[in-house]
């Protein structure tokens, strides 16, 4: 077992443990915080894989964005200090069932594709995974450039922004 493997197992154990705590905690605020740790662990895993870009996205979007949003909404709605009511029996059963099926599907796919790994020789041709390369390709107009989806995403964001304004803007008094 080399150092890399040790790091991997530590990270995995961290993700699993915090994930488990997130599910089992009876206080909703703590659940959110455990989720935060779990997601950070996943980001760590990406770093371990050498995928800095995805790791950064993971931190920015999930840790920085979504969990913060969750915490906000908890503060706005729930009394965060109180214990949650224990879940319904039926719901527990179905959740467990769904988890089992998901696990089984993952196992099935993994077992079928366990031989699917990048060959050593491929490393020579492996695309450059650095952030600058990704950025270049995203804006490139060449054969494998992604400038079109990039522009389309900007329309999407514009639409979303207008939508937010429509929803959030206060109606003028006297108007309908």
Partner 1 sequence: MNAILLSAVWGIVMMFSGIFTTSKTAIRNVAVVGLVLLVLGNYADMIGYHLMTVNVHKMLYFDTFGLLGNLIAFGSTLLYVLLSGRDMEKVGHHLAEYFALIFFVLCGVAIVTTFNTLLMLFLGIEIISIPLYILTGADKRNLKSNEASLKYFLMGAFSTGLMLLGIAFLYGATQTGTFFIDDLWSGKTAVTPLFMAGLLLLLVSMAFKVSAAPFHFWTPDVYDGAPTVFTSFMATIVKVSIFVGFIRLFDEAFGDSQEKWQVFVAIIAAATLFIGNVTAVFQQSVKRMLAYSSIAQAGFMLLALLALNGVAKEGIILYAAAYSIATIGIFAVLIRMKDYTFEGFNGLARQQPVLAATCTIFLLSLAGIPLTGGFFAKYYMLSSVVATGHYLWLVIFAVLCAAVSVYYYFRVIQAMYFKDGDGATEAEPGLGFKGLLVVLAVIVVVLGVWPQSLLGQLSRLIYTW
| Burial (CB count <10 Å: 0-12, 13-18, 19+), residue 36 | buried
> Phi first, then psi: what are they for 27, rounded to 5°?
-105, 130
Report the nearest approach of partner 1 to the CB of residue 101 (Å).
Answer: 12
Report the nearest approach of partner 1 to the CB of residue 3 (Å).
Answer: 30
Q: How far apart (Å, rounded) are the C-alpha atoms in residues 123 and 82?
A: 53
Report the nearest approach of partner 1 to the CB of residue 149 (Å).
Answer: 6
Q: How far apart (Å, rounded) are the C-alpha atoms in residues 65 and 73?
A: 12
* CB within 8 Å of 157: residues ≥ 6 apart: none
Q: Summarize as ranges the residues that interact with partner 1 (CB under 8 A).
A: 105, 108-109, 112-113, 141, 143-145, 148-149, 152-153, 155-156, 158-160, 162-163, 165-167, 169, 171-172, 175-176
Q: How far apart (Å, rounded) are the C-alpha atoms in residues 46 and 36?
A: 16
- What stretches of the chain show up as alpha helix (H) in DSSP? 3-24, 28-49, 52-57, 67-77, 89-112, 131-138, 147-168
Q: Which residues of 62-75 are buried (b: 16+ CB within 10 A; e: fewer)?
A: bbeeebeebbeeee
Q: Which is nearer to partner 1, 85 or 127 (CB)?
A: 127
Q: Which is nearer to partner 1, 6 or 158 (CB)?
A: 158
Report the nearest approach of partner 1 to the CB of residue 160 (Å).
Answer: 5
Report the nearest approach of partner 1 to the CB of residue 10 (Å).
Answer: 27
Q: Which is nearer to partner 1, 24 or 140 (CB)?
A: 140
Q: Which is nearer to partner 1, 124 or 143 (CB)?
A: 143
Report the nearest approach of partner 1 to the CB of residue 55 (Å).
Answer: 18
Q: Which is nearer to partner 1, 97 or 105 (CB)?
A: 105
Q: Which is nearer to partner 1, 10 or 99 (CB)?
A: 99
């Amino acid at each position: 077992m080399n150092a890399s493997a040790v790091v991997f197992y530590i990270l995995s154990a961290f993700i699993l443990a915090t994930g488990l705590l997130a599910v089992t905690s009876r206080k909703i605020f703590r659940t959110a915080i455990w989720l935060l740790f779990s997601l950070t662990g996943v980001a760590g895993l990406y770093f371990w894989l050498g995928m800095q870009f995805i790791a950064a996205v993971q931190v920015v979007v999930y840790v920085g964005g979504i969990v913060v949003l969750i915490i906000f909404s908890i503060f706005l709605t729930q009394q965060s200090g109180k214990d949650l009511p224990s879940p319904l029996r039926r719901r527990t059963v179905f959740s467990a069932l769904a988890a089992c099926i998901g696990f089984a599907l993952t196992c099935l796919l993994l077992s079928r594709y366990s031989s699917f790994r990048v060959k050593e020789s491929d490393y020579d041709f492996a695309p450059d995974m650095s952030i600058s390369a990704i950025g270049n390709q995203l804006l490139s107009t060449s054969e494998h450039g992604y400038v079109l989806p990039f522009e389309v995403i900007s329309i999407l964001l514009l639409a979303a922004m207008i939508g937010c304004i429509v929803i959030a803007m206060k109606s003028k008094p006297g108007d309908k």
